[in-house]
C-alpha cells in the first residue's frame, strides 16, 4: 500500500490505521517521490491526494497510468462532481472525499482489490478484442491494452453477459458495491468508464441502448 499525501498528520494517521489493519504501508510526501515509489515498489494500491508539491495529484495519476494499471484511490477534499468525474476520467479507480474514516477507506481498498483480482476463467474474444480473465488484461489485434481495475470490471461484466443489456444501475453497483446513490441524483461515472473503454478498445465494441443500458452483442 502506498499513501501519497503532503499533510504529514493526515498521512501518518491513515498509514497507522492501515498498518493496524494488517497492511504493509509506504509513505510519500510529494508527487515526485510518490510517482517514483509507485513505479519502483509496485504497491497493490495507491492512495493519492490531489494537492501535492512537486507534481500535482492529477499529473502523478496521468504519468502512472502510462506505465501501470495499479489500482488508484484518490483521497481529496475536492467534493465537486466535476473533480470526481475528471479524476476518474484520468484513470482513478475510486474517489474518496476527505474527511473519511479508516474503516471506510479499508472497505474501498478491499473492494478495489476484489475487482482487480477476479476469478480465473478462460479467455474470450469479442471482434478483434481478446479478454484474458486470469491476467485481467485485454488485447486488441496483437497489442495489449492497459485497463484500470474499474474499466476491466465493467468490461468483464459486459463480456460475460454478451447479448444481454446491462443497466447503468448494475454497472454502478460494480463500481461502488453496496452503496446506494444519493436521492434525486444522476451519476455518469459508468458512462465515463464506458467512454474510456471505447477509446482504448474501439468505439464499436460496446453498444448503448438509449434508456436501457449497454450491451456487447453476442
Instruction: Output the 3-class SS for 26-43.
Output: EEECCHHHHHHHHHHHCC
Please report the pLDDT score of residue 186 as a whole number: 55
Average confidence (pLDDT) over 127-151: 88
Please report the pLDDT score of residue 79 as a whole number: 86
Name the more confident of 59 and 187. Answer: 59
- Asked if pLDDT for residue 102 goes beyond 70, the answer is yes
* Model pTM score: 0.58
The residue-averaged pLDDT of 5-32 equals: 93
Say what the pLDDT of residue 201 is.
94
37-68 pLDDT tens trace: 998 888 989 999 999 999 999 999 988 887 77
Name, in order, each residue with C-beta under 8 angstroms of 208's C-beta and a sequence gap of 6 or more.
Answer: 194, 214
CB 11 within 8 A of CB 29: yes
Q: What is the pLDDT of residue 119?
A: 42
If you search the block for the grid coordinates 500500500, which residue do you land on? 1
To the nearest whole number, what is the mean pLDDT of the chain?
A: 86
Report the alpha-carbon distance of residue 211 to residue 145 in Å, rounded: 30
Q: Are 104 and 16 in contact (CB under 8 A)?
A: no
β-sheet bridge partners, residue 130: 125, 139
CA dihedral 173, 77, 46, 4 (to 10 degrees): -170
Percent of the chain with pLDDT over 90: 46
Distance CA(54)–CA(159), nearest Å, equals 41
Burial class (CB in 10 A: 0-12, 13-18, 19+), 63: middle
Amino acid at each position: 500500500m502506498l499513501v501519497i499525501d503532503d499533510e504529514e498528520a493526515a498521512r501518518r494517521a491513515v498509514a497507522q490505521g492501515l498498518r493496524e489493519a494488517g497492511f504493509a504501508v509506504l509513505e510519500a510526501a510529494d508527487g515526485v517521490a510518490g510517482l517514483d515509489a509507485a513505479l519502483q515498489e509496485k504497491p497493490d494500491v495507491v492512495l493519492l491526494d490531489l494537492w501535492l508539491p512537486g507534481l500535482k495529484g492529477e499529473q502523478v495519476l496521468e504519468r502512472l497510468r502510462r506505465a501501470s494499471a495499479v489500482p488508484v484511490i484518490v483521497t481529496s477534499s475536492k467534493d465537486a462532481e466535476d473533480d470526481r468525474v475528471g479524476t476518474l476520467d484520468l484513470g482513478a479507480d475510486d474517489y474518496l472525499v476527505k474527511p473519511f474514516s479508516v474503516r471506510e477507506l479499508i472497505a474501498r481498498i478491499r473492494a478495489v482489490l476484489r475487482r482487480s483480482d477476479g476469478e480465473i476463467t478462460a479467455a474470450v474474444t469479442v471482434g478483434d478484442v481478446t479478454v484474458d480473465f486470469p491476467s485481467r488484461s485485454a488485447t486488441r489485434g496483437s497489442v495489449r491494452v492497459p485497463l484500470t481495475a474499474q474499466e476491466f470490471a465493467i468490461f468483464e461484466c459486459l463480456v460475460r453477459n454478451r447479448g444481454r443489456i446491462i443497466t447503468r444501475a448494475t454497472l454502478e453497483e460494480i463500481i461502488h458495491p453496496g452503496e446506494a446513490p444519493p436521492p434525486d441524483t444522476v451519476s455518469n461515472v459508468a458512462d465515463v468508464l464506458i467512454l474510456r473503454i471505447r477509446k482504448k478498445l474501439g468505439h464499436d465494441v460496446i453498444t448503448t441502448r438509449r434508456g436501457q443500458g449497454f450491451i456487447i452483442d453476442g
